Structure 1
């Protein structure tokens, strides 16, 4: 009897030491905090971000890197002070392993310090400001989207190569808006009809449309995401400018805005790192799964980039054996981009921003829906111009 008891204790000790524990000793859940915009005209963008990450987790059986995921989603309300408060709660109270988000660059600027200085890794599946790509680059910050300038650079190059003589350019007055117009001008070297900044979330463009009509512009380039883009495109078409002024954009006509814009956006051009018809096996599977999961909605870039963020976490944790406590090992694993991106070509540069391909896309009708379609590739394996200012190797 005593021998049996001693044997049971020994077996239990071996099980604990070897990791073969029972349910009471199961690996802790992987906690991921999400900071995204779920209020106001921009809510559709935040919903796409959330949906893409949720789909990646679901398709991995509710786990990433072998660990069951607990997702904590916070609405930043597009208010930096609200975002800071909620980001601090995620890292201080909830003890999340990762923070994923946000959509808007002013929110990224606000939450960067409280998240990264806590030692938590921040993954942006959208916002990618120039300062964090350059001199303020951060080893705890990874981007699965782009550097803000880049999609706009596509349209600047198009305008230059197409012989556009006098474009009118416009964006919201916040960090991403300034990056966008800087990106356009990096490749377009001609005369501008005007350069205009509008308040973030402005919805009435009657004054700006009058300026465009009077400026003699032969093209307009705009960065107006979410509800801003919906209203501008409708008002641009209604003003009769679509037949006179070539429409170039980024994040103004995409899968987040097209369900509301419909025919008003047909034929309009955009710059992008992806489109739903990008011909990779992984992307075809993703688009079909997203449409099935979310009532037939076509995913936008916000969804695919957050899906990739989920794959990045999964791949990195597989490399670390599911562990997140050794931050040096975790960062090193993430730096290798250990996943197959939906976009195909992808690797991290020295600044933890992607090196990837970029495309000119065009709005087309697909059955009773509207989507962007790849028109031509503009840049191959393109690294952002700010990486040279980042001290990381």
Structure 2
């Protein structure tokens, strides 16, 4: 009995010492974003949104200091693998947040989820991890890639567009965009054009659109690609006769460069800066005061990612040693999202509302997207049914 009591006491002392030691160490969060090249503005939004949340939390989660380590994936999967491996091996991060692009997420997913860290994707939401390949250590705070594009397919269908031209970059998110649009559109697809990622000269594509004379164009062109496409589309005189429908092509990351060329163009999203709830009004005001520009969805989702992590850390009283407990706390998503309704499906992708949004110029001269109407309510992506996780 003495030996048993002695062993129990030693084990308890070790556990208490480990907990105390952990409490003294900061929570380490690696943020991996695209911060260089034509799409750097997207990563800037995400980085700033995350940093604003940490600032508002007083630099602590669950009573523990937080150390944020930001790295640039350069929009290159091979670079991303090296950077994320450094976060895991050298920096011993507890969470990895990011990235922007789906091909980068596909590169870093296995190294992260097979380590001690949890992966929180604050933007990329490829179909490849929403179904059979879902993973218990990966959470997505944005959407499944198809869903935002489904909004535009439903919009085109509701407005009796009979013939639509589709245009997207040739990588996973581009293919998901095409699939998403087609899910609710029943008309004719006049043509489908895939461009290289980073494509900036759309003369050939615009010529094809002009000659096919569709009832609308649906496109997904994020970052610098979207800036050039919108400008060239307006210059080609196609706006008046072929409505421009897009996701991530016209948003707060591209509008400062597109400006008047984009006004009136319709998009799909889960949120817009003018969303009418108290937490979002405060977020937008605080963000603009801190960084001097209008936040986009990338910033909102990164902010929510920080609040998700904070909710989990608080639920386990700052003790991250029990990964099952942390995972359970993450699944509960016990925080107030800037977009309102938010909870996780069994595949760890969100169940949320989706809207059409329109590019507009504010009275102060700045540009933003604004909510037009809700299209889907409490919407779960179609791949969740194939995810074997049940909880």
Alignment of 1:197-212 (within 5 A): 197-212=194-209
Please state how far the C-alpha of 1:280 moved relative to its aligned partner: 1.0
Retained in 2: the 8 A contact 1:64–1:310? no
Please state how far the C-alpha of 1:64 moved relative to its aligned partner: 2.1
Q: CA RMSD in A?
A: 1.6
Structure 2 partner of 1:280: 277
**Of 293, 307, 311, the match for 2:307:** 311
Structure 2 partner of 1:342: 338
Structure 2 partner of 1:61: 58
Please state how far the C-alpha of 1:65 moved relative to its aligned partner: 2.5
Q: Does the alignment pair 1:325 with 2:321?
A: yes
**Contiguous gaps of at least 5 residues in structure 2:** 1-12
Q: Does the alignment pair 1:110 with 2:107?
A: yes
**Of 230, 253, 256, the match for 2:253:** 256
Please state how far the C-alpha of 1:137 moved relative to its aligned partner: 0.1
TM-score (norm 2): 0.94
Work out the CA distance in 2 between the residues paired with 1:20 and 1:110: 33
Structure 2 partner of 1:293: 290
Work out the CA distance in 1 between the residues paired with 2:252 and 2:142: 16
Report how many residues are paired.
Answer: 376
Work out the CA distance in 2 between the residues paired with 1:333 and 1:25: 18
Structure 2 partner of 1:302: 298
Structure 2 partner of 1:119: 116
TM-score (norm 1): 0.93
Retained in 2: the 8 A contact 1:121–1:141? yes
Cα pair distance change 1:20/1:94, threshold 3 Å: closer
Retained in 2: the 8 A contact 1:65–1:313? no
Work out the CA distance in 2 between the residues paired with 1:81 and 1:150: 28
Work out the CA distance in 2 between the residues paired with 1:203 and 1:89: 33
Retained in 1: the 8 A contact 2:213–2:242? no
Structure 2 partner of 1:163: 160
**Contiguous gaps of at least 5 residues in structure 1:** 1-13
Secondary structure at 1:40 match in 2: coil
Structure 2 partner of 1:131: 128
